Amino acid sequence: MINKNYLYAVVGASRDEKKYGYAVLKDLLEAGYKVVPVNLHEKEILGLKVYSNLRNIPKKIDLAIIVVPPKVALEVLKEIKELKIKKVWMQPGSESKEALQFCQQNKVECISGACIMIQKNK
């Protein structure tokens, strides 16, 4: 599911270097992936324009990486369904039984239980 040609949206991207939203964004960016940060409260992270939601991103997102708490993740998945984004990666800690069921019921290909920063190197 990891592809250098994809455009990745990192939902929950953060400017806080201690958070996974920062680590995931920085790791993918430094590895040469095309990434777009999504965060309600930031304007710029690591020199990239930040979008407040997926709907505002002008390009087609191939895969949304979810790095937010489970309750927020479920809301993000509803937006993903609306936008017809077919692939998501739920970072450890963001998934829930409800979120995984939502993906299954709505035919959204989902990877969970694995960190994208580790898996991209395999």
pLDDT tens string 40-96: 999 999 999 999 999 999 999 999 999 999 999 999 999 999 999 999 999 999 999
pLDDT-based confidence at residue 32 (cuts at 50, 70, 90): very high
Chain mean pLDDT for the chain: 95
Task: pLDDT band for 122, please (50, 70, 90 cuts).
Answer: low
Q: Given strand 87-90, what is the order of strands in its sheet? A: 34-38, 7-11, 63-66, 87-90, 109-112
**Two structure tokens written together for 48:** 């990239």
Residue-range domain boundaries for the chain: 7-119
CB 52 within 8 A of CB 40: yes
State the pairing for strand pair 48-49/44-45: antiparallel
Please determine, for residue 8, whether its predicted confidence score (pLDDT) is greater than 90: yes
Question: What type of residue sits at position 118?
Answer: I
Torsion sign across C-alpha atoms 1, 33, 68, 74: negative
Query: What is the number of helices (H) and of strands (E) in the chain?
Result: 4, 7
Topology (CATH level 3) of domain 7-119: Rossmann fold (3.40.50)
Give the residue from 94, 109, 85 showing the smallest Cα distance to 24: 94
